[in-house]
Structure 1
Amino acid sequence: MAYQHIRLPATGEKISVRAGRMHVPDQPIVGYVEGDGIGPDITRASLEIWNAAVAKAYGGRRAIQWCEVFLGDKAAALYGEPFPDEAIQAFSDLTVSIKGPLTTPVGGGMRSINVALRQTLDLYACVRPVRHFPGVPSPLRHPELVDVVIFRENTEDVYAGIEYPAGSPQALKLENFLRQELGANIREGSALGVKPMSEFGCKRLIRKAIRHAIERGRNSVTLVHKGNIMKYTEGAFRKWGYELAREEFGEFTVTEEEVGNGASAEGRIVIKDRIADIMFQQMLLRPAEFDVIATPNLNGDYLSDAVAAEVGGVGIAPGGNIGDFIAVFEATHGSAPKYAGKDVANPGSLLFSGVMLLDYLGWGEAARLVETAYARTVADKIVTYDFARQMQGADEVKTSAFAAAVVARMD
């Protein structure tokens, strides 16, 4: 299709989906969004590293042909709005994309672009792998025990954007209905949010988590919920998760309760569940007991950032918003506008989101090159300012110099 501002590269092919499978050419066209604030700095650095890894891994046989897509401040300057339809169409056409951080006003202004993007493209799984790299500063004594992949439902729950301000006609109408028709005890003038959680939405998220565990040789899937209090929403998430595991993956899974009663877990994925607040404690005290985690939207938002803090913070925590095929990988931190253009930000979050992208393409050799070179760079104490202030004897470098150091350490 013809775009107004987006320019497809002169070479390369689009990724296609045929017969229920994604087909990736050797020269795939992949979308990228620079992002706001520090976005351009970390995107430039990450592109340099990804391109070097692909070239090194495949000797020029493969290369990503990057196509810039516009969201946020850059889109507002081009289209007059930060969330143009053309960007959504491009994400759909290209199948796989990655984006830098976008600014979302707190308490007012435009709706979150990130939330709108997930809902518009039905990117129902927010996937956040969290692991520790040697040398990265951590508050834990044994951060190497943290190695989890969090699957957070992206399109439902209170976080998905269904809420009404106090005193609005919608809030008053809903308040009156709940009080008069259902006998709910609600204070007058309340702001109200709706927490929809469907069997369809919960099961497709949990299905993706269990499939990931099976395909990657993981040991367990933990359903994290607040079902002890919200029995018909988060409690249903737990119930539907166990149902799905039994009905669709019975030959591959066993429940924690069954293992406790003597069943063997050898060669099978253990399905278990934890109350959300206890899960935060257990991820601190016994992180090695957890592997793949599936959770509703709001719990997953909190848990993802909390677990990321155990291994160095959201500055190096990657993420991807993934549907059945369309995927938009992203930096999981904010745009940090006060550091914009200063070439000082840590590119780790976006960089490792690109590692997820490479794995999603099936280009694991390039992904492992990035991970190994990054680990060597940090081990040599060549880091950006955020890590340097926590490490004795660190060589503090600019974002661009860090990228060059990573590329230099690729085998």
Structure 2
Amino acid sequence: MNRTIYFIEGDGIGAEVWAAGRPVLDAAVAKAYKGERSLEWVELLAGEKAFKETGEYLPQVTLETLAKAELAMKGPLTTPVGKGFRSLNVTMRQTLDLYACIRPIRYYEGVESPVKRPQDVDMIVFRENTEDVYAGIEYAAGTDEARRLIAFLRDELGANVDAEAGVGIKPMTAKGSKRLVRKALQHAVDNGKPSVTLSHKGNIMKFTEGAFRAWGYEVAAEEFADSVMTEDAATAGGSKPVIIKDRISDAMFQNVLMYPRDYSVIATTNLNGDYISDALAAQVGGLGLAPGVNMSDDLAFFEPTHGTAPTIAGQDKANPGSLILSGAMLLEHAGLPEAAALIHKAVDKVIAGKRVTVDLASQIQGAEVVGCKAFGELLGENL
């Protein structure tokens, strides 16, 4: 009863959070199933470790292996800002068609939050992962490519674009939008969630973000008519279990702060999803406790939502919680929910005990700071 999981250690703090987190996942499975089930970890190379060993940041064998896999995990990977190679994360998402980035956000008792009612935050963000500005179609200001594109926009389409502008293209399709909303709606129906909110900026970007909204409602009407209704239908007395609604993305930030109980499942575009999921994580303790998964129809690729944190790499300061909770998501997905439940209870116990990593200690009065390794050990002891 082994489950094979491919893993990429990651850059920066990746090695530390893996060393602290993986034993917790193994111990949870062993305890929950009394040794009858186990995880078989197989390492793949990507990022700086891959470059040192192979001369490539993303070896082809890694992509080929993941293309045939069902379960994988990774640590954070480095992407230089404004220069250097393209994002490895984006490349893997597009190459492997990991079209849904799914991030559950909930509050852990004892963490001090900047908001009044963090315990009301219990949401899951479904973020489209392959289109929008993250598709990577952009040209630097002053380059021949940018000038040629600007000339076409001005001369052929009549657009008013400065000749020296940098230019990015924001592609969005019915296929990409609908499959993301479909997954969010299916999650709500399967898990008894009360609503799915489409978050978009369709009032301004009418043919991309506005189309995302329209396509989302189409999926609900065409494929979920028996279980999903609009807000207007609910107001008129409808009794279907799931309500689909939409909010302008800037208003959405205000609403999740002021009325968090009104939101359960959020389906949104790529850039908006990046913003809102990090903002929600800040309401409940930060990215150190924020898990995530990128999914295709075949592969579930789990990863922490934080970055490589190079300024603290190698100092035993990192919080392995995001990776461990991503692992708990993996266990649930892999049909090992009892092990996942043990991890969630352990996180609650350790935070209540106020022995936490520095990022959490800064939010908990009277907390004792422990290192990355020690925090992982505490979670293991409290399974």
- Letter matched to residue 283 of structure 1: V
How far apart, CA to CA, are the structure 1 residues paired with 2:100 and 2:150? Answer: 31
Q: Which among 225, 230, 248 is matched to residue 205 of structure 2?
A: 230
Q: What is aligned with 1:9?
A: none
How far apart, CA to CA, are the structure 1 residues paired with 2:310 and 2:125? Answer: 28
Number of equivalent positions:
383
How far apart, CA to CA, are the structure 1 residues paired with 2:279 and 2:291? Answer: 13
Contact preservation (8 Å) 2:113, 2:285:
yes
Q: Which among 311, 315, 320 is matched to residue 342 of structure 1?
A: 315
Q: Any stretches of 5+ residues in structure 1 without a counterpart?
A: 1-25
How far apart, CA to CA, are the structure 2 residues paired with 1:349 and 1:405? Answer: 15
Q: What is aligned with 2:355?
A: 382
- Letter matched to residue 138 of structure 2: E
- Letter matched to residue 327 of structure 1: A
- State the 1:391 CA deviation: 2.0
Q: Does 1:128 align with 2:95?
A: no
How far apart, CA to CA, are the structure 1 residues paired with 2:202 and 2:324? Answer: 36
> Per-residue CA shift, 1:117-147, capped at 9, x if unaligned?
1000000000010111101231111101001
Q: Which among 316, 320, 324 is matched to residue 293 of structure 2?
A: 320
Q: Which among 250, 253, 264 is matched to residue 228 of structure 2?
A: 253
Q: What is aligned with 1:159?
A: 134
- Letter matched to residue 142 of structure 1: R
How far apart, CA to CA, are the structure 2 residues paired with 1:236 and 1:230? Answer: 9
Q: Which among 334, 338, 343 is matched to residue 361 of structure 1?
A: 334
Q: Which among 26, 39, 43 is matched to residue 14 of structure 2?
A: 39
Q: Which among 51, 56, 61 is matched to residue 86 of structure 1?
A: 61
- Letter matched to residue 43 of structure 2: E
How far apart, CA to CA, are the structure 2 residues paired with 1:140 and 1:371? Answer: 22
How far apart, CA to CA, are the structure 1 residues paired with 2:144 and 2:301? Answer: 36
Q: Any stretches of 5+ residues in structure 2 without a counterpart?
A: none
Q: What is aligned with 1:204?
A: 179
Q: Secondary structure at the match of 2:311?
A: helix
> Per-residue CA shift, 1:87-109, capped at 9, x if unaligned?
11121233211111111101111
- State the 1:404 CA deviation: 1.4
How far apart, CA to CA, are the structure 2 residues paired with 1:122 and 1:165? Answer: 26
Q: What is aligned with 2:278?
A: 305
How far apart, CA to CA, are the structure 1 residues paired with 2:48 and 2:18? Answer: 15
How far apart, CA to CA, are the structure 2 residues paired with 1:140 and 1:111? Answer: 36
> Per-residue CA shift, 1:39-98, capped at 9, x if unaligned?
111111110110010001111111000011111110001110111111111212332111
Q: What TM-score do the two structures reach when normalised by structure 1?
A: 0.92
Q: Does 1:190 align with 2:172?
A: no
How far apart, CA to CA, are the structure 2 residues paired with 1:405 and 1:118? Answer: 33
Aligned pairs (5 A) from 1:44-63: 44-63=19-38
Q: What TM-score do the two structures reach when normalised by structure 2?
A: 0.98
Q: Does 1:140 align with 2:118?
A: no
Q: What is aligned with 2:144?
A: 169
How far apart, CA to CA, are the structure 1 residues paired with 2:130 and 2:363? Answer: 37
How far apart, CA to CA, are the structure 2 residues paired with 1:106 and 1:47? Answer: 30
Q: Which among 39, 42, 46 is matched to residue 67 of structure 1?
A: 42
- Letter matched to residue 319 of structure 1: G
- Letter matched to residue 354 of structure 2: K
Q: Secondary structure at the match of 1:338?
A: coil
Q: Does 1:149 align with 2:149?
A: no
Q: Does 1:109 align with 2:84?
A: yes
> Per-residue CA shift, 1:139-172, capped at 9, x if unaligned?
1111010010100000101122111111222211
- Letter matched to residue 255 of structure 2: Q
- Letter matched to residue 193 of structure 2: R
- State the 1:36 CA deviation: 0.8
How far apart, CA to CA, are the structure 2 residues paired with 1:248 and 1:235? Answer: 20
How far apart, CA to CA, are the structure 2 residues paired with 1:130 and 1:329? Answer: 15
Q: What is aligned with 2:263?
A: 290
Contact preservation (8 Å) 2:350, 2:356:
yes
Q: What is aligned with 2:52?
A: 77
Aligned pairs (5 A) from 1:250-289: 250-265=225-240, 268-289=241-262
Q: CA-atom RMSD, angstroms? A: 1.0
Higher deviation after alignment, 57-66 or 336-345: 336-345
Q: Which among 188, 193, 197 is matched to residue 218 of structure 1?
A: 193
How far apart, CA to CA, are the structure 1 residues paired with 2:360 and 2:213? Answer: 38
How far apart, CA to CA, are the structure 2 residues paired with 1:315 and 1:400? Answer: 14
- State the 1:257 CA deviation: 1.4
Percent of residue pairs bearing the same amino acid type? 53
Q: What is aligned with 2:303?
A: 330
Contact preservation (8 Å) 2:32, 2:342:
yes
- State the 1:389 CA deviation: 2.6
How far apart, CA to CA, are the structure 2 residues paired with 1:309 and 1:388? Answer: 14
- State the 1:186 CA deviation: 0.7
- Letter matched to residue 278 of structure 1: A
Q: Secondary structure at the match of 1:365?
A: helix
- Letter matched to residue 59 of structure 2: P
- Letter matched to residue 81 of structure 1: E
Q: What is aligned with 1:7?
A: none
How far apart, CA to CA, are the structure 2 residues paired with 1:126 and 1:221? Answer: 15
